[in-house]
Amino acid sequence: MTEASPMPSTDQACSLDVGVGGMTCASCVGRVERALKNVPGVLDASVNLATETARVRLSAATSGEPDAVTRALLHRAVLNAGYEPRPAAPPNEPEPSPWAGFAPVALGLLLCAPLVVPMLAMAWGAHLMLPAWVQAVLGTLVQFTLGLRFYRGAWHALKNKTATMDVLVALGTSAGWALSLWLWWQAAPGVEPHLYFEGSAVVITLVMLGKWLEGRAKRQMGAAIRALHALKPEQAHLLRDGLETDIPAADLLVGDVVSIRPGERCPADGTLLSGRTQMDESMLTGEALPVPKQMGEALTGGAINGTGHVHMTVTAVGAKTVLAHIIALVEDAQAAKAPIQRLVDQVAAVFVPTVLFLAVGTLMAWWLTGHSFEVALIHAVAVLVIACPCALGLATPVAIMAGTGVAAKHGLLIKDAQALELAHKVDMVVFDKTGTLTLGKPVLLSVDAAPGLSREAVLAAAARLQTGSEHPLARAVLAAMPAGKAPGAQQALDVHTEPGLGLQGTVGADTYRLGSWRWMDDMGADAQGLLAQAQARMHEGATVSALAVQTAQGWQVQAVLAFGDEPKPDAAAALQMLRARGLRLLMLSGDNPQSAQAMARRLGLAPVEVLAGVLPGDKAREITRLKAAGHVVAMVGDGVNDAPALAAADVGLAMGQGTDVAMHAAGITLMRGDVMGVADALDVAGRTVRKIRQNLFWAFAYNVAGIPLAALGLLNPMVAGAAMAMSSVSVMSNAMLLRRWQPSR
């Protein structure tokens, strides 16, 4: 049992992952969930059949580091439900051999071969049937050695007043085995009766073969997680007093300086301290080309260093690194249960009892219509075997595992199963402008000062006001300061931000406000003849801010600052691709209408596809309004101001280079931060949902078609067992086709 990432909740709940062995079908999932939910302190439990884990959410009283009692209670609940509690698989566990666990299956095939080959030989007129006692010995060995797991599972299920696949297999094969013994006992001396030992043995072996194939496919679909964990280097070269010391990467601390040689992976997140290089971040972002890095730029743990020998200052270690965050998001997504799975769980809860009723009905119908009890029982056994709901429980989780895994490989982190399921229904995509459709690195184009004031003086005041701010416009102001003329020691005091408007602070004896022209209008500031300059800059498409000072006569504008930004290189093409898919587009911007429309023209957006002058709080309201109008809305953003809108949208997509707040509020994170990823994310989500639906169709189709055929006597138990095993294999194989998905770029 391992601790998972904290789950946001009003009661500060946390979650744990518990490994659960021995589950075979959707009914098992429901049983384990009910058992775990009955443990004191458990708020919720979600069991994933594909990963064989349970995500348990604990209340505030038990959150933090769960004590031994809590762990023991969870283990005991799983055990009492009839399953094997075990630690969740270590994330860095090496991939086992493709043939791991095949030995029992091979033994079953070996014991079944002498029973099946004579039956096949009869088609060519050869009579090689083994004596009844040999058939009984071989059939009994399979029934009560390899089949013992089904008896154990069935006993625990019946003891808990539930029915699972184990009950169906145990009842069906036991009935066939007992019928064979009875026919052998009733046979006249010297007469070789027709026995069914081979049917029961083959069913058990085929079920085991199906489960082994499932396990093998699960291990392959877990490759995305293993590949991400493999990015963590084992060693780091710590620099102390100019000397390198090799230490475990796990022992690094924030502030350490490490050396990274060409071809090595970054041992943690950090900042480039000296040297220049290129970093291969393809496993993190999907970006195939190396990214140039210079002094002061951020390095991500797990990225491969290029040709430069560089030094790095560690800024984050352990669970706080970008790589750890990515792994947590993917693991959460693969452990999540899609909304459609709730319907499957409801069906599974009544499915097995219904099958038992149908099997009894089949037995009585054939027997009461004049057929022998032997024939009636064989048909009832076929109903029990064909109806095993293995595929039903796997249909949704294996598709989610495959879809989220291949998406993570290409830098698309899908952390919300509900977002995954809704993404294919999206008909409108709403974009934030700055940092999402544009580079988010505006430059200061011009400074128009009021009469009697110098450009340098007003620029210095604006720089002092914004020192320490991470806003893109603030960085542009600071970057525009002449070399050697930093804001200096006279920093602004009492600085506070008005969201979507600007900021206010005190520099020396004066109180300043720096923000949008609309803010200046709202507070009745005296434009001092700068209105014409502001309007001219807006018509040119620039983003305009004004610097105002408080005087005895009120606020007076001292300068107009015009900023320019560039659209992202692929933004226009990405928007056109989304439009070609039939999606409606809308750009939200806090800029004035002229600036927003100017950028829209460069992006290929129509005037009606732009909404300017939108405050951060209004963004969420606009999303709510669009949803109320019947749209399924995807919101794409990157900043703190976008978090409410991302959360309000049906599907939130956050740019990977954006803020942590935005990434937590969104259901999907685009690690590359390019707009083309929006189409890719919607595409892979849509394909995943289609796979879920296809899997559910095939899972139900096998049962819906197979049960009547078995009840009508058109399937014998052996063929029914093969069909049941193939249903699980087909579902797994269909989901694995998602691994071949490639992004549009």
The reply to whether 432 belongs to the active site is yes
Listed residue (531, 586, 584) closest to 557, CA to CA:
531
* Token pair listed for 412: 């698309």
Query: And the tokens for 186?
Result: 């009733």
SS3 340: helix
What length does the chain have? Answer: 745
Rg (CA), the chain: 33
Nearest-angstrom CA–CA distance, 278 and 595: 36
**Amino acid occupying residue 460:** A
Bridge partners of residue 341, in order along the sequence: none
Contacts of 655 (CB under 8 A, 6+ apart): 435, 436, 636, 637, 638, 662, 669, 670, 673
Backbone angles phi and psi of 484, in degrees to 5: 85, 0
Nearest to 393 by CA among 327, 347, 333: 347
**CA dist., res. 561 & res. 671, Å (int):** 33
Amino acid at 627: K
Classify strands 584-588 and 428-432 as parallel, antiparallel or unpaired: parallel
Extended beta strands in 197-306, E state: 235-240, 243-248, 257-260, 269-274, 277-280, 291-293, 298-299, 304-305
Residue of 141, 685, 142 lying closest to 421 (CA atoms): 685
What are 466's two structure tokens?
């914004």
Q: Which residues of 134-164 are buried (b: 16+ CB within 10 A; e: fewer)?
A: ebbebbbebbeebbebbbebbebbeeeebbb
Q: Phi-psi bin for 259: left (phi > 0), alpha (psi -120 to 50), beta? A: beta
Distances in Å between the Cα of 379 and the Cα atoms of 176, 364, 375, 486, 711 are 10, 10, 6, 88, 6
Spatial CB neighbours of 737, under 8 Å, sequence gap ≥ 6? 402, 691
CB 501 within 8 A of CB 571: no
HEC states along 449-493?
A: ECCCCCHHHHHHHHHHHHCCCCCHHHHHHHHHCCCCCCCCCCCCE
- Coil, helix or strand at residue 498: strand
Nearest to 447 by CA among 562, 289, 290: 562
3-state helix, strand, coil in the chain (%, to 5): 50, 20, 30
Convert 94-128 to b/e letters by CB count within 10 Å (16 or more is b).
Answer: eeeeeeeebebbebbbebbeebbebeeeeeeeeee
Annotated catalytic residue, options 256, 416, 432, 674? 432
From 660, 662, 742, select the one nearest 407 (Cα to Cα): 742
Q: Say which residue the tokens 């429980």 belong to.
A: 393
Query: What is the four-CA torsion angle of 580, 584, 590, 595, rounded to 10 degrees?
Result: 50
Helix (H) or strand (E) holding 397: helix 390-409
Which residue do the tokens 């029990």 mark?
A: 384
Active site residues: 432
